[in-house]
Each structure stands twice: as C-alpha cells, then as structure tokens.
Amino acid sequence: DPLYCGGGSIIGPIGFDENVINTEGGLPIKLRNFMSILSDNTVRLKWQTISEENVDDFSIERSEDGDIFYEIGTVQGHGNSNDPIDYSFVDENPLFGTSFYRLNAIDYDGTYEKFQTLSVEFIPDDLQVSIYPNPGNSDNMTLRLGSPSEAKLKTISIIYT
C-alpha cells in the first residue's frame, strides 16, 4: 500500500503495484511499486524491484506539465538480482504546485525503460498568501504566493474586466 506523510498534499494515484516491465528490446526488470511521500518540504520517491537484469542506474525525472521532463537525479542500480531491492530518491527542491515524476531504468549499454508517471501536489508548510493593494481601489490586483524559507514566489495578476 502507498505511504502517506504530512508536509503537503498528494493528488492522483501515488503508486502502483506489480507492473512487470519486460518488453522486447527493453530491460528485463520487474518493478513492484513506485510511490511518493511528502515530508518536511521534500518529495521522497520510493520504488522496489522484484528482479532486475543488467540495470546500471535509475534516472529520476520531473516535469511541471507532464509532457517535458528534466532529469533531477540518478540512483545506482544493483545490476543483476532476483531478490527484492528497495530504492529511494529525495527531491530537496520540489516545484510549487503540481509536479510529475518519472522513473527510468538504464541498462549497462544505455538502453532504458520508462515507467509510470506520478503526480504530486506540493504546498510548502510555511506558505504565505498576500493580496494587494488592500483595500483594492483599482482594476488590477496582485495575488502573491510564497514560501520565505525556500525563497520561492509566485505572483498572479488579477485584472477586472
């Protein structure tokens, strides 16, 4: 079962079970689960393989929109194993709002396999919201969302029509 921790909220499915990845020309790997846990303003990704063959690395990618992904880290694979192996990666600087994470297994020869994408809704514990000018006396107001501890800020202009 997926694990939940405090420090934010999660949207959508956060994990899956028993997806067998063994496609022609791909990597022979059996992945039991891939899940996300929000804790202490970080996103921890955890996965477990049931078996793997020639797995060099796992690449972790993140996206703002679910279409364009950027690698944010790698975790060393165990090469060959018929025993369950637990892996994890911590995103210390998660994106504000909805992010998408994807796991890739990379073979020794560079062949790779992409797994299911997880969506995570991250809202910092110390989120501050301000609207100005207040009182509003113009046709234009600004909504500012920010996290001072992470120096992250998002400003949205609201224009009345």
Higher pLDDT, 140 or 160: 140
Task: Indicate whether 157 pLDDT > 50.
Answer: yes
pLDDT, tens only, 62-116:
999 999 999 999 999 999 999 999 999 999 989 888 899 999 999 998 888 888 8
Cα(135)–Cα(8) distance, integer angstroms:
31
Binning pLDDT at 50, 70 and 90, where does residue 140 land?
low
Q: Average model confidence (pLDDT) for the chain?
A: 75
Task: Indicate whether 23 pLDDT > 70.
Answer: no
pLDDT of residue 10: 35
Token pair, residue 32, equals 């039991």
Token pair, residue 64, equals 């703002």
CB contact set of 125 (below 8 Å; sequence gap of 6+): 7, 8, 41
Residues in the chain: 161
pLDDT of residue 17: 44
| Average pLDDT over every residue of 7-28 | 43
Measuring CA to CA, which residue among 26, 53, 36 is closest to residue 95? 36
| pTM of the shown model | 0.68
Task: Indicate whether 6 pLDDT > 70.
Answer: no
% the chain with pLDDT above 70 = 60
